Structure 1
Amino acid sequence: MTFPFPIRTECPPGACDCRRELLENDPQADVRVLRLTREEEKRLVERIAAIGSYAELMRVGQRLQEQLGVTLTIAPGPNEVRTVRGFAIELAPRPGLCRKTRQAVPAAIRRCLEAHPEIAFAILDAHDLFGRP
């Protein structure tokens, strides 16, 4: 299958669980996720590092959904949230989304939350963990 845009190079066999072959074998598949090349992934991680507010973080998540069809979820974990490690941050697995990307983006968001604790508090507030009446 040929693509009208640059796509991510394939991972070595057995190194990734992205199930990319499902996209390549199905002409009706949503191949937007393949647009996230390694260079674009680096730019995305840099963009996440530059985030300064909760609204910007939510906008990045919305753009991921719009442009790549990838769902980003950020929520307090099932236990107490004492540090940024207490947040459940994940990109929903989907065919074509590399394992490394599913690890790099949440790690970048955690670094952002460590640098800007007010964003972490906004996430907690958005999930109503402060117990407002």
Structure 2
Amino acid sequence: MTNTPALRQPCPPGVCDCGREQLLQQANSDLRILLLTRTEEKRLLERLENLESLADLQNLQRRLYEQLGVRLAVAPGFNEVRSMRGLAIQIDELPGLCRKTRQAIPTAIRRGLAKRPEIAYELLNAHDLFRDV
């Protein structure tokens, strides 16, 4: 008897546009994103809020892609960065990724960077902050 991993519970009808049901009905679909249960999502958000360094953030980005197929990009915004809101945090569209999760991940990252602003400075420096000086 094989143990199948627990899949995320469906969102209430009409509340989310994640496409969970369509993803389950497709034959060759990537179901990794459905492994992100609500408890695992809480652990992920807590982890993102307690970042240790830029390397830690980059490691989490890599692991999100490897384990769940979620592409996450964090970079300075197009205009001047005056606060954590000026950072562009982008999550690629992915069938099965809940709307609330898509909103919660950038919020958790911003909270983590607000707690440790030196990580945001490292991120800015990594993207050539001083190129015109």
For the aligned pair, the TM-score class normalised by the smaller chain equals over 0.9
1:64-79 equivalence runs, <5 A: 64-79=64-79
Cα shift at 1:11: 0.7
- 1:22 deviates by 2.5
Provide the TM-score with structure 1 as the length reference: 0.93
CA distance in 1, matches of 2:18, 2:90: 15
Output the aligned Cα RMSD: 1.5
Distance 2:94 2:111 in 1: 24
**1:130 alignment counterpart:** 130
Q: Would you identify which runs of 4 or more consecutive aligned residues in structure 1 move more than 2 Å?
A: none
1:102 aligns to what? 102
Deviation of residue 27 (structure 1)?
A: 1.6
**Unaligned regions of 5+ residues in structure 2, if any?**
none
CA shift for structure 1 position 132: 7.0
Do 1:49 and 1:112's aligned partners in 2 also have CA atoms closer than 8 Å? yes
Q: Is the 8 A contact 1:90 1:102 kept in 2?
A: no
Q: What is the alpha-carbon distance in structure 2 between the residues aligned to residue 126 and residue 14 of structure 1?
A: 41
TM-aligned CA deviation for residue 10 of structure 1: 0.6
Q: Deviations over 1:41-85 (max 9, x none)?
A: 000011112211000010011100000000011011111100000
Identity over the aligned pairs, expressed in percent?
55
Residue 90 of structure 1 deviates from its aligned partner by 2.4
* Residue of structure 1 equivalent to 2:32: 32
Amino acid at match of 1:116: R
* Distance (whole Å) between structure 2 residues aligned to residue 121 and residue 17 of structure 1: 35
Tell me the TM-score normalized by structure 2.
0.93
SS of residue paired to 2:73: strand
The number of aligned residues is 131
